[in-house]
Structure 1
């Protein structure tokens, strides 16, 4: 499960706090409920960066259900296809989360109509991903920024239905949570990056990167991005990426992908 929403919320909160201070606001509002992780992420960042401001949380404080929210919008003349509103969809650069009645159970899967992107590609396709110092910088030879590369790969791979799954995890407030997600580009990039690392990093680099990466992910998930230890972990992780440069070849198929191999001048399998 790629850390999509948690990373987004942290940087949204930072940007909101900075803007609120810039315009001289005395309060910040967010629409998180009292059941999930986002309330903690927003509250934590706002309290650190703008402790003097009041935090207003109407959805949480009034304990509003989705049905009540819909009725409120209807009563104020908002017109929408409300049948789709039964699914909570959060689309971001690093993946799309999908929540609904099915994800509140432990046994039901999401129906096809719940997924934002439909499966339309059936023929296999080879894709070449270029990395420089651990960051994706090209797709099929086209030079791109990392953000552009993510978007390009998503555009190519998502119509295959790759990266769909349902994640079960522990929320910050201590309850189990279940959410659907589709994240074609992130899942492919994570695995492609790991394969390249296996070829160019040493045994203990890989071991400690996995250990610290796990902690970094957990801290990010829980909104602890501003903790100084995150800068310490980042320094180590960035140092490991000096030679993570090369190409990874991936074959796309409906609902799956296969890592074919890599090419890198730093490939330790080719060293003499």
Structure 2
């Protein structure tokens, strides 16, 4: 009886190529596992494609709601944004995918897990850190680090030589990753950062600015302890919430990012990301935090968010530090409850009001009209004490 290998299978070019390559170079029974984190229509026809490429079995595991609740929302609550732009769409899915790959490896008593991440990319780090954290006894096979295939063109030719039909060609073979939260695009002309992307050819979730409606649209999102629970007054689970906001945000060209980023492995890369619904949620959540968090907590949380984003980006999800940071974030979210309204128009999100039962905004204090809670004269003593170090330093300079 052959030993088994679990292949992280998407049905794309790389993982399609890996099936015949594994059979040709290893005497393993190839079991494909597709972890569904909201890829949509990409799941259709996957089993036929996997089996016709030489796999013995295909598992499709729908973990979309778990993805939202346990990975997307914690990252959003943290306000984690990598290098000021990237909402971590690919990054947050990888630890869950790897966790489920380990589950099926144990279920099938497999000896190895194989992934299609390249030797230049981040995903190899994300997958393997998670596998090491959860099942260090499993062997890891990373074909891109050992085979003779050097490019996507080589992969296409390899498949054609092994009589495997492809639904892609050399001219449109962008490297894409899609889940419920976002879609990324890399490769081809995007590898030259001096070239403006042809968004009419690239975008799949989002309108171009030119095609966005000429009329604005309002959205109203209700949060409970930092989690979005209602859209325009309608209660929605996580999957439906993001799906609906993707449609609305995509229509208004929200959430298109062109980023030259620093990869974990040390090089820079360029990608175009579409995250329409996520971009709306991040903005709405931030507006509510401005209303509900005190100055010190908000300031410290901004610092923490940078580290949180770095951990997620580099695949360090199952680490004590990230878990500790999540505990801090959850504590800050106890009062992040309320309703936020945004106006969407041609790539822009404009605040249109926010309310919360835990709002720290006090109109009587903030108003230009003097109230009982604040006496203008109090400011004089505060400024004197607050500026005392400056006065002492100035006196020292005068004395010298």
TM-score normalised by length of structure 1? 0.94
Instruction: Give the distance between the partners of 2:167 and 2:128, measured in 1 at CA.
Output: 30
Report the counterpart of residue 69 of structure 1 in structure 2.
155
Show the 5 A alignment for 1:216-227: 216-227=308-319
Contact 1:88–1:98, Cα closer than 8 Å, also in 2: yes
Report the counterpart of residue 189 of structure 1 in structure 2.
281
Is 1:54 aligned with 2:142? Answer: no
Deviation at 1:271, TM superposition (A): 6.6
Report the counterpart of residue 101 of structure 1 in structure 2.
188
Deviation at 1:78, TM superposition (A): 0.5
Instruction: Give the distance between the partners of 2:107 and 2:265, measured in 1 at CA.
Output: 31
Instruction: Give the distance between the partners of 1:252 and 1:160, measured in 2 at CA.
Output: 7
Report the counterpart of residue 236 of structure 1 in structure 2.
328
Pair 1:179–1:137, CA change in 2 (3 A): same
Deviation at 1:84, TM superposition (A): 5.9
Pair 1:126–1:83, CA change in 2 (3 A): farther
Contact 1:3–1:94, Cα closer than 8 Å, also in 2: no
Instruction: Give the distance between the partners of 1:204 and 1:18, measured in 2 at CA.
Output: 42
Question: Number of matched residues?
Answer: 272
Show the 5 A alignment for 1:107-122: 107-111=194-198, 112-117=200-205, 119=207, 120-122=211-213
Q: Larger Rg: 1 or 2?
A: 2
- For structure 1, the residue ranges without an aligned partner over 5 or more in a row are none
TM-score normalised by length of structure 2? 0.65
Report the counterpart of residue 132 of structure 1 in structure 2.
224
Contact 2:246–2:277, Cα closer than 8 Å, also in 1: yes
Deviation at 1:194, TM superposition (A): 0.7
- Point out 4+ residue stretches in structure 1 off by more than 3 angstroms: none
Instruction: Give the distance between the partners of 1:85 and 1:16, measured in 2 at CA.
Output: 29
Deviation at 1:59, TM superposition (A): 2.6
Instruction: Give the distance between the partners of 1:233 and 1:183, measured in 2 at CA.
Output: 24
Instruction: Give the distance between the partners of 1:41 and 1:63, measured in 2 at CA.
Output: 23
Q: In structure 2, the residue corresponding to 1:126 is in which secondary structure?
A: strand
Q: In structure 2, the residue corresponding to 1:157 is in which secondary structure?
A: helix
Report the counterpart of residue 165 of structure 2 in structure 1.
78
Instruction: Give the distance between the partners of 2:206 and 2:274, measured in 1 at CA.
Output: 11
Pair 1:226–1:63, CA change in 2 (3 A): farther
Show the 5 A alignment for 1:11-26: 11-26=96-111
Pair 1:78–1:246, CA change in 2 (3 A): same
Contact 2:205–2:246, Cα closer than 8 Å, also in 1: no
Describe the superposition over 1:103-127 as per-residue Cα deviations: whole angstroms up to 9, x where unpaired. Answer: 2112112212111135254021111
Contact 2:193–2:260, Cα closer than 8 Å, also in 1: no
Contact 1:150–1:185, Cα closer than 8 Å, also in 2: yes
Instruction: Give the distance between the partners of 1:40 and 1:46, measured in 2 at CA.
Output: 10
* Larger displacement relative to structure 2 (138-147 or 100-109): 100-109
Pair 1:202–1:82, CA change in 2 (3 A): same
Instruction: Give the distance between the partners of 1:241 and 1:247, measured in 2 at CA.
Output: 14
Pair 1:31–1:200, CA change in 2 (3 A): same
Contact 2:183–2:274, Cα closer than 8 Å, also in 1: yes
Contact 1:163–1:184, Cα closer than 8 Å, also in 2: yes
Contact 2:259–2:271, Cα closer than 8 Å, also in 1: yes
Of structures 1 and 2, the one with the larger relative CO (CA 8 A, separation 6+) is: 1
Deviation at 1:54, TM superposition (A): 1.2
Pair 1:266–1:3, CA change in 2 (3 A): same
